[in-house]
Amino acid sequence: MSLKIKIPLTEEIVLKLRAGQRVFLSGTIYTARDEAHRRLSELIEKGNPLPFNLKGNVIYYAGPSSTPPGKVIGSIGPTTSSRMDPFTPKLLQLGLKGTIGKGKRSDEVKKALVEFRAIYFGATGGAGALLSRYVKRARVLAFPELGPEAIMALEVEDFPLVVINDAYGGDLFLEREKWRR
- C-alpha 61/C-alpha 155 separation (Å) is 15
As a whole number, mean pLDDT of residues 103-125 equals: 97
Number of domains forming the structure of the chain:
1
Looking at residue 48, the DSSP 8-state letter turns out to be P
pLDDT digits (tens, 9 = 90+) for 134-155: 999 999 999 999 999 999 999 9
Which residue range(s) make up the domain with 58?
A: 3-180
Residue 59 belongs to a domain with what CATH number? 3.20.130.10
- C-alpha 20/C-alpha 31 separation (Å) is 23
Beta strand pairing call for 151-165 and 119-122 = antiparallel
Is-catalytic flag, 152? no
Is pLDDT above 60 for 71?
Answer: yes
Is pLDDT above 70 for 66?
Answer: yes
Is pLDDT above 70 for 68?
Answer: yes
DSSP annotation string for 67-109: PPTT-S-S---B-BGGGGTTTHHHHHHTT--EEEEBS---HHH
pLDDT digits (tens, 9 = 90+) for 48-58: 999 999 999 99
Per-residue confidence at 179, pLDDT binned at 50, 70, 90?
Answer: low
Beta bridge partners of 140: 152
Q: Residue 79, Cβ neighbours under 10 Å: how many?
A: 21
What is this structure's pTM? Answer: 0.95
Q: Of 33, 37, 104, 110, which one is the catalytic site residue? A: 37
35 by Cβ neighbours in 10 Å (0-12 / 13-18 / 19+) ranks as middle
Arithmetic mean of pLDDT over the chain: 95
